[in-house]
Every structure is written in C-alpha cells, then in structure tokens.
C-alpha cells in the first residue's frame, strides 16, 4: 500500500533519487529494508506495507519506494516503545496447528509503539520487520534516539571568556618554585616534568580537536538550515533582479559545498549501504554536473564526494559499485565509460551532438583550419577538463567529424575535409564550402 494512503501520519519529502529529505540537525541512525506498519487496536488507521524504514534523530520515516512517497512518525509522539517480539512464540501448539501463511507472518519481529495523536488520544501501532535484519540493534538505536530528544536541542551558548588576569599578577609558571637539577634525582625529576608537560599538551590538543569537530558539525547544520531557508524564500521573491538571484544561487552552492550533514555509512545502512549510497551520490552530483556542463570525471566526483562526507570517507570500490547501481533505479544520472577506459558521470539528458556542434564550430575557425585544435583548446571552449575534452575529440573522430594528426607536439585535430571532396571529380575545386575555406586559409598563410 502506498504511503499516501496512511494520511494519519505526516507526509515526508523525498529527493529526486528517492532519499528522504532531512531537516536541519536531523541525522540518520539506522535503516531497515522491508517493514510494515500496522495498527494494533484501531483498524480505521490504514496500514503501510513494504516500506523502507529510516530511523533518524527526529523521526521514523516510512518510504514506499515504488510510489516515491513517504510518511514520517515524529519520535516526540512516541510515549513508549516495547521490545521486539514474535506473535504466538509463547504457544508452540498454536503455531503448530496454524496455517502456513499465518505461521510465516507470526515469525516476523514486531516492535510495538504507543504514540500520542491529536486530539489527546493514544494509539498502539506495530512495526513488523519482514526482512532478515538485526532488530535488537535497531531497537537499541531507537531507544537512544528517543532518550536523546535531539528535536528539543538548541545550539549551545558560547562559553564565557575567562576572567582577565589582575594587573601586576605574575603567571603561574613564574610563581612556581623551580627546584635545581642536582644529581640523579634532579635528572629524574626533570624527565618526569617533561613527560607531564608532553601529556598535558597532548590532552589540550585532543580537547581542541574535539571542540573543532563539534563546531564543524554545528557549522554544517547552520549551513543546511540557511540553504533550506534560501530555497523556501526564492519562489516568493521572483520579482527581484538577476544580480540578487545570482548571488542567492552562489550562496546556495557555497553552502552545499560545506558538506553532507548525514552521510550514509555502513553502520547506519547495514545491508542497504551501497543502495542508499548510490541514491545519496545521485543527489549530490546534481550541482557539480550543472557547473561542469553535464559531465564530470569519476575521479573528480570521488574527491568532491569524500570532501563533502568529512571523516566518513568511502573507498573507490564503494563509489564504483554505487554508480553501477544507477542502472537499476530511476535517477537522472548515469555512469559512462569511453573507449579509452575513462569513466565519467553524466546526466541522462546530456547530448553528444551538442558537444560535437561546438567542437565543429571551433574547428572551422580560420586559425583552427590552419593549425588544428588541441585538447586544451577544446577544454577551454567546452569548459571541462582537458582529459574529458580529449575523449570528446576522439569520439568526434570516430564519428567521422574530425581527423587526427599525431606529432611530437601531441595530438592535433582538424575538421574532416574528405566529406567535402567529390569522389567522381576530386580535382575540381568548389568555389564555396568548407574545402574552399580551407584552401583560402592555406593560400593566405603562404
């Protein structure tokens, strides 16, 4: 049943690739691939079937992947969570004489939740885990999220600055009486002081690192909150000038480059790690692809994605496996491999014909007719990396649009003039066309 049918739960937004949209400060805790949500007492509440359950610090999000719809159960409404159990597990005779369908359903773990619903009524619902998963781990993290009450937390106030030192007061190290280094005991005492000083410096360094990490997380949450505010305010201010809209777009891109607030990890996603990683990657590469003209090298994506994930780095194998899963899901991006072996990520709307038209326009300029074009020239025109520009030039050569010249200076590509020559009369020079333009440029250069 689609998540839209369960209108007694608040709706939740999803991204273009089907990932749940998290609010500011919300972090994923765990995932269960296949669950049902059933009412225990009130049968008027519509159940949810076959959903992906995402536990966050704020909600339980039930995502129905076929319909790309989602419903969220706020953890603030959970009054009590009961440990997972199986139905009829206490009565083996009942399970023995029951039908096979009911027997199989009774083997599923159930997590019962007592929730409060408006207006001032209480309901009991059950999360039925219909897949093989570590339900005890999920339940433990559910209790941790409920007890943490992250939805009530506010940014911590900055610590008060230390009181200024009184005038004329000497530093503590100047007041301390230094014992003279005399004999073996003095050497041992000096060595002990050195070790204590090093230990204190190391402790201070780790405290500074922890403070930096906590501040970095707060800055990422603040950046995400500002970006969401900009996105919600943009349609309302459509009458603003182009310069203001451009500055807002630049600000959104800058805030997105700060990092991913809740990266998918093996600890939170479990068996769904590569699937959820591929969906999060599809959402992430949208803006870099727009800036790069619809295509970006896989190596560049690896660097950008790991930079955004912070300390939760992924391996090249994980990235490649996540990209290969795009063939099985409906996302607007795809993985492409050129004949040379170079792998890129591009949008499904990317057109090679448009790239070929720009390359031919460059190759038909007078200077290019005489000297040809290099991958660097094409990279400057297309606004992409030289390695990708070379792949486009080789691809245009395979299509018969360009000819290649290999010299000690490297590769040079010329427009293919053989298409302009009449095979029946190869010695006749046409007074028009590309071949005539090439002869005119060659004669002028002599």
- Mean pLDDT (whole number) for 429-444: 62
- The residue assigned the tokens 């897949």 is 131
Which residue did the predictor score with more confidence, 238 or 431? 431
Q: What is the pLDDT of residue 68?
A: 87
pTM above 0.75, yes or no: no
Q: What is the pLDDT of residue 140?
A: 93
- Mean pLDDT (whole number) for 222-251: 55
- Mean pLDDT (whole number) for 376-381: 89
Q: What is the pLDDT of residue 95?
A: 47
With contact defined as beta carbons under 8 Å apart, do 314 and 305 qualify?
yes
Which residue did the predictor score with more confidence, 246 or 295? 295
Question: What gap in Å lies between CA 106 and CA 95, rounded to an integer?
Answer: 8
- Evaluated on CA atoms 363, 365, 370, 375, the torsion sign reads negative
- Mean pLDDT (whole number) for 90-103: 46
Question: What gap in Å lies between CA 364 and CA 372, rounded to an integer?
Answer: 9
pLDDT of 115 strictly over 70: yes
- Per residue in 26-51, pLDDT (tens digit) is 889 999 989 999 988 888 888 889 99
Range with top average pLDDT, 17-21, 106-110, 160-164: 17-21
Q: What is the pLDDT of residue 416?
A: 85
With contact defined as beta carbons under 8 Å apart, do 6 and 61 qualify?
no
Q: Which two tokens stand for residue 111?
A: 């997590």
Q: What is the pLDDT of residue 161?
A: 39
Question: What gap in Å lies between CA 200 and CA 18, rounded to an integer?
Answer: 49
pLDDT of 274 strictly over 90: yes
Range with top average pLDDT, 98-107, 128-137, 419-428: 128-137
Residues forming beta bridges with residue 206, ordered by sequence position: none
Mean pLDDT lowest among 234-238, 272-276, 289-293, 338-342: 234-238
Q: What is the pLDDT of residue 381?
A: 87
pLDDT class of 152 with cuts at 50, 70, 90:
confident
Q: What is the pLDDT of residue 344?
A: 93
pLDDT class of 102 with cuts at 50, 70, 90:
very low
Question: What gap in Å lies between CA 21 and CA 13, rounded to an integer?
Answer: 5
- Per residue in 187-199, pLDDT (tens digit) is 777 777 777 777 7
- Per residue in 285-320, pLDDT (tens digit) is 988 888 888 889 999 999 999 988 888 899 999 999
Average model confidence (pLDDT) across the chain: 77
pLDDT class of 126 with cuts at 50, 70, 90:
very high
Residues sharing a CB contact under 8 Å with residue 347, sequence separation 6 or more, in sequence order: 289, 294, 295, 332, 333, 334
pLDDT class of 281 with cuts at 50, 70, 90:
very high
pLDDT class of 206 with cuts at 50, 70, 90:
low
Q: Count CB-CB contacts under 10 A for residue 52.
A: 21
Q: What is the pLDDT of residue 165?
A: 42
Residue from 18, 9, 4 nearest 264 by CA: 18
Which residue did the predictor score with more confidence, 6 or 159? 6
- Per residue in 153-172, pLDDT (tens digit) is 854 443 443 444 444 444 44
pLDDT of 205 strictly over 70: no
């Amino acid at each position: 049943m689609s998540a839209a049918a369960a209108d007694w739960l608040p709706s939740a937004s999803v991204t273009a690739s089907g990932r749940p949209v998290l609010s500011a400060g919300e972090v994923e805790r765990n995932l269960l691939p296949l669950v049902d949500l059933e009412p225990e007492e009130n049968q008027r509440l519509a159940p949810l079937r076959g959903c992906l359950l995402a536990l966050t610090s704020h909600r339980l999000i039930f995502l129905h992947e076929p319909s790309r719809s989602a419903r969220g159960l706020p953890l603030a409404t959970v009054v009590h969570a009961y440990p997972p159990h199986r139905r009829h597990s206490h009565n083996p005779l009942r399970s023995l004489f029951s039908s096979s369908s009911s027997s199989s359903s009774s083997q599923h773990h159930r997590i019962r939740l007592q929730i409060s619903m408006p207006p001032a009524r209480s309901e009991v619902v059950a999360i039925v885990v219909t897949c093989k998963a570590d339900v005890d781990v999920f339940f433990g993290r559910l209790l941790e999220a409920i007890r943490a009450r992250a939805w009530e937390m506010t940014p911590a106030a900055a610590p008060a600055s230390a009181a200024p030192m009184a005038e004329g007061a000497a530093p503590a190290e100047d007041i301390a009486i230094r014992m003279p280094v005399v004999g073996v005991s003095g050497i041992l005492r000096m060595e002990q002081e050195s070790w204590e000083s090093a230990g204190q410096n190391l402790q201070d360094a780790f405290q500074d690192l922890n403070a930096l990490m906590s501040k970095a997380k707060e800055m990422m949450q603040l950046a995400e909150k500002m970006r969401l505010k900009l996105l919600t305010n943009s349609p309302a201010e459509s009458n603003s000038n182009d310069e203001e809209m451009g500055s807002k777009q630049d600000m959104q891109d800058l805030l997105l480059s700060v990092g991913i607030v809740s990266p998918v990890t093996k600890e939170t996603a479990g068996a769904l790690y590569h699937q959820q990683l591929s969906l999060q990657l599809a959402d992430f590469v949208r803006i870099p692809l727009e800036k790069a003209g619809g295509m970006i090298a896989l190596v560049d994506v690896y660097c950008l994605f790991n930079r955004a994930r912070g300390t939760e780095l992924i391996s090249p194998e994980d990235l490649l496996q996540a990209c290969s899963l795009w063939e099985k899901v409906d996302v607007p991006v795809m993985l492409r491999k050129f004949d040379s072996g170079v792998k890129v990520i591009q949008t499904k709307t990317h057109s090679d014909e448009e790239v070929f038209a720009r390359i031919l326009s460059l190759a038909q300029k007078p200077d290019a007719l005489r000297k040809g074009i290099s991958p660097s020239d094409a990279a400057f025109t297309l606004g992409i990396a030289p390695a990708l520009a070379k792949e486009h030039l080789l691809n245009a050569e395979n299509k018969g649009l360009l000819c290649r010249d290999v010299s000690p200076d490297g590769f040079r590509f010329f427009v293919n003039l053989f298409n302009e020559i009449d095979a029946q009369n190869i010695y006749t020079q046409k007074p028009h066309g590309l071949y005539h333009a090439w002869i005119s440029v060659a004669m002028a250069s002599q």
